[in-house]
Chain A
């Protein structure tokens, strides 16, 4: 109902505006259509509708603005499918406009963290209703980046997930991220079941992606690729879950920097020219505690009945800014302080462009103060918790106020928060000393007070750590905890890594410890990296789980809720999916002293030639004193005596 109420004034407005301004740009029309679609799709609260209706004049103002700017930008004509200027001059416009099959949304979520840090998450989503897999080649790209489209069709990719992360997500301080990712680079791909040579395709794909993202993804080969059987299910539609078509690899050593950010930004329809992407300035993004950028491609349903599917490209960028290192005495954050930019407009191609700020812990504004204030609120269940967000809609001109720029300011009032106790978190370390053996400990914490839940643990360990799988123990609360499912694939030297997958039940309020011993292999001398004394990396373990939700946890909470609704925990919120990555490990292997090959060669040669040779000679032979050789006269005499048949002298 609310949506319809919103819709009618909008249509009226469109009609009105188009009748006045005959010259209209398709770009703008697209925008308006897109907005309508969102208005239709998203269920909105009554308060929000009220706010929108109240802001009608402002919306009208925006229309003026947008049209003017569109007219100015007409010469540039960036989008390929803009119709010829002549076609635009039509007396009746709205019904005739073809609805484009692709759309773009952008949003930015802020979560002020207890520690005084701030977590900013950019989400960009491009949807396109097309079929890359059909015989005819898709060659006409509008919002969807062509480079990725070609990758999908050439390599028959069903789903593709890449993340580049610099830093480790501190679950104990920051809670759960919206989208977890391990330090370094992570790539996992589901191929279509029509692919015959999966390994070959995977090899090619990683090399192509390496070029696209300027990353060392070409170092992914069989020694760090695994086929997890259970941990990585497809996130899009489709039932095919045969792990033969899945490849997973991480590069824990990959360093993420500007050269990875630039190609990532180029995939956005507006680039970094307009919209939220204006904020993505590398000198600020890399002056932070955590930086992660991802690309996810998957097929999704276009409508409720899932009659048609479309491809979703979701680009996210997560960054955590540190209060202490920013060198400010006051505890406050603004867009300018974080990104050294303010916002002036939404991306003109975006159908929705919003900023969300998590104010769940701050209902009365006692923790922090938010300026400019907004009345728009939105509620969502995020990671099993019902969160409230303040919303700034960038497509509405009123958001920018009089200064024509939006500089959000969050000013903290209280100080310091304690460490969090996330329901599930994990850590990992190498135990022991010396360069021969060691032990990998993985600790999984279940902080839920009374409910146990199962987790899937995935460990991929390089072959040069030889796991002694018979030493694998899983203990929780001092007792053995037998995993109900273990999938172990032993490594082959120089060919493939160890793969260990386990389904472990974590008892409530406990720490479960998984230990396995290993032996450090001695590598061949060409296999060492240029800096062997730095150590060798072992990628993060992946822990995937359905965690009981916090909402379902407060059973005795009858406040604000009618009694009849609160007896059974409602199903949607009863548990939520969480993936936790542990820290990668840095393991020292026995390393020869490479700086002295000359000494080594000299020493070995000397030892072998002089020492061994002659000593062996001395030990194995027996020596006897030789008879002194007879004189010449005696020899001649002996010859004569021999001829005579007389015994020699």
Chain B
């Protein structure tokens, strides 16, 4: 800072930064990407460790014996489900009561803003059944949740069977200090949302639900169980929740510790852990794992039923049983023992899980990257924006060499304000249109075009998005006449700073989303001026726009899953991803759609505007 208070040195520094601005930016960009890719390299990451003392050493003994019986219950459940054509509410209530639980039901209904074609639902009506195991001599202040969704078809029956089996076994134990809530939710996330809103008596998404009758105090942790086969080869843990929230790392550690203890194969993102970190394939494996996590987190949608708990500050994860073609199989008794161990450990908790990290990326289950390690990667990208802003600021503040009188100054700056404000307002209005119109105009679109509601919504969104490209630079020319050299610089300064703040805030909440947006938007922001070749730049600008970022992400995600798809399939998937994103916003309050529509897209339009500055 002493450097800056000396005007000579300040001048030297600034001239250095402005002279070498472009190379520094390029270096920063490369360094940022390199740093990010380096995060997956095992020697650079930390081993996971249990921070919570109450769950430290493995002191509990797992004795759950009744895996076969749980499977039988699961089959019985399947039969009743088939007979009832949905959730067998009466049977569940009776079964849970027979196991000595306090049983309650909650009915809910929700009309989606437009039909969900992936899951084929529009007007959803369902019932959640939950039984509370009251801990002996506990005052109903704390609870744990074990949930299993009642899925349509033949899936997930084993999970419900195991849930009931565990309920029966847990009920006979004396050591519980927290109430345990066994929840079977219908219509997966919608049911879970209804239950959580009912439990906390909030209504954030306008759903209709009947109030809950029984509660167990503040929920400390939750696990959601997905199990569709009698035996599994491995267990997969899903962490990514709503808006990229993650549960406390200790919950993952707990799962990993018990998998190690009991000897169950465990995966994250469906990827096993490899020991050959020093080989290229080992490294690319962990890059894949980490990139999958980044992709899922950036999408902002809950990737399992646990995802909605995180909003209520309840640490939660989904445990999925995976049955592949491996030889080594794990039976239900072992999974039951694993869950028993986890619940006993969670039962021992004195405080909420708070010791370990809430912000992390996982290149494998045993290694993690904490916020302190991954933030520099984003910082290096964000600094480019600040450097460009500095450069523009210096250019603007140095007076043009020929005129030095005040009149000229006023002449130059007064159209500046208007020329900045107009595109800002117009592009934001376009953003608002992108946010509002798809839902509002779906009926009209269905009337006039031969499309379904879902298609109507998605196509309207794409239409508004495309129309936005034509709008701002045309209208602002009408309002403010010819743009000046000074004008686009002011506009770009504002846009660059706006983008820096926007990405910075996004990265703090959801690093992955912030980083992916930064990777694509920062180069655009850095190089765009009215003087670059129009056609090529316009092409690059469009290719790096948020909509195309999403398209690339779809392909990249499929590539990472090792399920590459053709362009045709990719396009269909892309359309459904857009509709899912809009639905996620209206159903669960995911913020990615409004963020992109209301802030990122208008910001990008500003740069589009600069390109066509006349």
Using a CB–CB cutoff of 8 Å, the interface residues on chain A facing chain B are: 115, 166-168, 170, 172-173, 183-184, 252, 286-291, 322-325, 327, 416, 419, 427, 429-435, 439, 441, 531-535, 537, 583-588, 591, 595, 610, 613-615, 617-618, 621, 623-625
User: Do A583 and B139 contact each other (CB < 8 Å), given the known contacts A327-B172, A429-B201, A433-B200?
Assistant: yes
Shortest beta-carbon distance, A272 to chain B, in Å? 21
Name the one of A289, A434, A532, A618 contacting B136, with C-beta atoms under 8 angstroms: A289
Judge whether B311 is part of the interface by a CB distance below 8 angstroms: yes
User: Would you call B215 and A595 a contact (CB within 8 A)?
Assistant: no
Interface range on chain B (Cβ under 8 Å from partner): 35 or more
B57 at the interface (CB under 8 A from A): no
3 closest Cβ pairs, A-B complex:
A614-B1, A183-B139, A431-B201
Across the interface, do A585 and B354 meet the contact criterion of CB distance under 8 Å?
A: no
Contact B137 A623 (CB under 8 A): no
In the complex, are the beta carbons of A614 and B2 less than 8 A apart? yes
A residues less than 8 Å from B125 (CB atoms): none
Give every chain B residue within 8 A of A166 (Cβ-Cβ): 137
Which residue of A325, A435, A585, A621 has the most chain B CB atoms within 10 A of its CB atom? A325
Indicate if the CB atoms of B174 and A287 lie closer than 8 Å.
Answer: yes
* A167–B174 CA distance with the chains assembled, in angstroms: 13
A433-B313, A583-B140, A586-B217 known; A534 and B352 CB under 8 Å?
yes
| Cβ–Cβ contact B201 & A286, under 8 A | no
Partner of B98, one of A290, A416, A433, A535: A416
Report the minimal beta-carbon distance from A477 to chain B, rounded to whole angstroms: 13
Q: Is B61 an interface residue (CB 8 A)?
A: no
Interchain CB contact under 8 A, A625 and B173: no
User: What are 19 residue pairs bridging A and B, where the CB atoms are less than 8 Å apart in the complex?
Assistant: A167-B136, A167-B138, A183-B139, A286-B137, A288-B137, A324-B172, A325-B172, A325-B174, A431-B201, A431-B202, A433-B202, A434-B313, A441-B201, A533-B351, A533-B352, A534-B351, A583-B140, A584-B139, A623-B10
CB proximity of A502 to chain B, nearest CB, Å: 20
Given contacts A433-B312, A534-B352, A583-B140, contact A625 B102 (CB under 8 A): no
CB-defined contacts of A432 to chain B, threshold 8 Å: 200-202
Q: A531-B350, A617-B5 are in contact. Are A585 and B137 (CB under 8 A)?
A: no
Q: Write the nearest CB–CB distance from B311 to chain A, whole angstroms.
A: 6
Partner of A614 from B5, B134, B201 at Cβ < 8 Å = B5
CA distance A287 to B136 in the complex (A): 8
State how many angstroms separate the Cβ of B139 from the closest Cβ of chain A: 3
A586 & B141 in contact (Cβ 8 Å cutoff): yes
Bound-state Cα–Cα, A322 to B135, Å: 11
Interface residue B97 (Cβ < 8 Å from any Cβ of A): yes
Q: Which of B1, B8, B100, B312 contacts A324 (CB 8 A)?
A: B100
Q: 16 additional contacts, CB 8 Å, given A584-B140, A614-B5?
A: A172-B102, A184-B139, A289-B136, A290-B136, A323-B100, A419-B102, A429-B215, A432-B201, A433-B200, A433-B312, A435-B313, A534-B352, A585-B141, A614-B2, A618-B4, A625-B7
- Which chain A residues border B200 with CB–CB below 8 Å? 431-433
List of A residues within 8 angstroms of B138 by Cβ? 167-168
CA distance in complex: A269, B10 (Å): 90
User: Are A170 and B98 neighbours in the complex by a CB distance under 8 Å?
Assistant: no
How far in angstroms is the closest Cβ of chain A from B96?
A: 12
How far, in angstroms, from A167 to B177 measured CA to CA in the complex?
10
Give the complex CA separation of A623 and B10 in angstroms. Answer: 11
Q: How far is the CA of A291 from the CA of B138 in the complex (A)?
A: 10
Residue of B nearest to A328 (CB): B172
Query: Inter-chain contact count A-B, CB under 8 Å?
Result: 117
User: A618, B5: Cβ atoms under 8 Å?
Assistant: yes
Q: Let me know if B136 and A623 touch, CB within 8 A.
A: no
- Residues of A near B214 (CB, < 8 A) are 172, 427
| Contacting residues of chain B (508-525) with chain A, CB-CB under 8 angstroms | none
B355 within 8 A of A: yes
Residue on A nearest B355 in the bound complex, by CB: A595
List the B side residues contacting A115 at CB < 8 Å. Answer: 100
Min Cβ gap B207→A in Å is 15
CB-contact partner of B1 in A168, A532, A610, under 8 A: A610
Q: Does B340 contact A (CB under 8 A)?
A: no
Given contacts A433-B312, A441-B201, contact A623 B5 (CB under 8 A): yes
Is B171 located at the chain interface by the 8 A CB criterion? yes
| Cβ < 8 Å to A, chain B residues 1-29 | 1-2, 4-8, 10
- Which single residue of chain A is at the shortest CB-CB distance from B217? A586
Question: Per a CB cutoff under 8 Å, which of A173, A532, A583 touches B141?
Answer: A583
- Take A184-B139, A286-B137 as given contacts and tell me if A615 and B1 are in contact as well, using a CB distance cutoff of 8 Å: yes
Q: Please, which residues of chain A bring their CB within 8 A of the CB of B172?
A: 324-325, 327
Q: Which residues of B contact A615 (CB under 8 A)?
A: 1
Within 8 A of A (CB), among B335-368: 350-352, 354-355
Return chain B residues, CB-CB under 8 Å to A537: 141
Chain B 178-202, CB-CB to A under 8 Å as 1, else 0, gives 0000000000000000000000111
- Mask, B417-434, CB within 8 Å of A = 1, is 000000000000000000
B residues touching A (Cβ–Cβ < 8 Å)? Answer: 1-2, 4-8, 10, 97-98, 100, 102, 134, 136-142, 171-174, 200-202, 214-215, 217-218, 311-313, 350-352, 354-355
What chain B residues lie within 8 Å of A431 (beta carbons)?
200-202
Cβ–Cβ contact B4 & A531, under 8 A:
no
Closest A-chain residue to B98, C-beta based? Answer: A416
A173 to B140, CA, bound (A): 15
Hey, which chain B residues are within 8 Å of A532, CB to CB?
Answer: 351
Contacts of B140 in A (CB 8 A): 168, 183, 583-584
Partner of B102, one of A173, A324, A433: A173
**In the complex, chain A residues whose CB is within 8 Å of the CB of B5:** 614, 617-618, 621, 623
CB distance from B12 to the nearest CB of A (A): 13
| Cα distance A618–B3 in the bound complex, in angstroms | 11
Write the nearest CB–CB distance from A171 to chain B, whole angstroms. 12
From B7, B100, B137, B139, contact of A252 by CB (8 A): B139
Give the complex CA separation of A252 and B139 in angstroms. Answer: 9
Could you tell me the distance between the alpha carbons of A585 and B139 in the complex, rounded to whole angstroms?
Answer: 9
A8 to B171 Cα, complex, angstroms: 55
Contact B218 A430 (CB under 8 A): yes
Chain B CB within 10 A, most for which of A288, A535, A617: A535
A439 — which chain B residues lie within 8 A by C-beta? 201
Interfacial chain A residues near B134, Cβ < 8 Å:
168, 170, 289
Among residues of A, the one whose C-beta sits closest to the C-beta of B143 is: A586
What A residues does B313 contact at CB under 8 A? Answer: 433-435, 588
* Distance in Å: Cβ of B156 to nearest Cβ of chain A: 27
Min CB distance A624 to B, Å, is 7
**Docked CA distance A625–B12 (Å):** 14
Q: Are B136 and A288 in contact (CB under 8 A)?
A: yes
Q: List, in ascending order, chain B residues with CB within 8 A of A585's CB.
A: 141, 217
Q: What is the CA–CA distance of A168 and B140 in the complex, to the nearest angstrom?
A: 7
B217 touches A583 (CB 8 A): yes
Contact B142 A586 (CB under 8 A): yes
Give the distance in Å from the alpha carbon of A435 to the alpha carbon of B218 in the complex. 13
Q: Which residue in A324, A535, A583 is a CB contact (below 8 Å) of B171?
A: A324
CB atoms of A290 and B1 under 8 A apart: no
Q: How far apart sit A289 and B311, CA to CA, in the bound complex (Å)?
A: 33
Contact B97 A416 (CB under 8 A): yes
Q: Report Cα–Cα, A439/B200, bound state, in Å.
A: 10
| A291-B137 CB under 8 A given contacts A324-B171, A432-B200, A533-B352 | yes
Of the candidates B7, B141, B174, the one whose C-beta lies within 8 Å of that of A623 is B7
The minimal Cβ–Cβ distance linking A426 to chain B, given in whole angstroms, is 12
Bound state CA distance, A172 and B2, in angstroms?
72
Q: How far is the CA of A634 from the CA of B136 in the complex (A)?
A: 96
Separation of A613 and B139 alpha carbons in the complex (Å): 52
Residues of B within 8 A of A327 (CB): 172
Q: How far is the CA of A290 from the CA of B4 in the complex (A)?
A: 70
From residue B594, how far is it (CB to closest CB) to chain A in Å? 19
**B97 closest partner in A (C-beta):** A416
B215 A584 Cβ-Cβ under 8 A: no
In the complex formed, the residue of B with least CB distance to A430 is B218
Task: Report how far A172 CA is from B7 CA in the complex, Å.
Answer: 79
Distance between Cα atoms of A173 and B132 in the complex (Å): 13
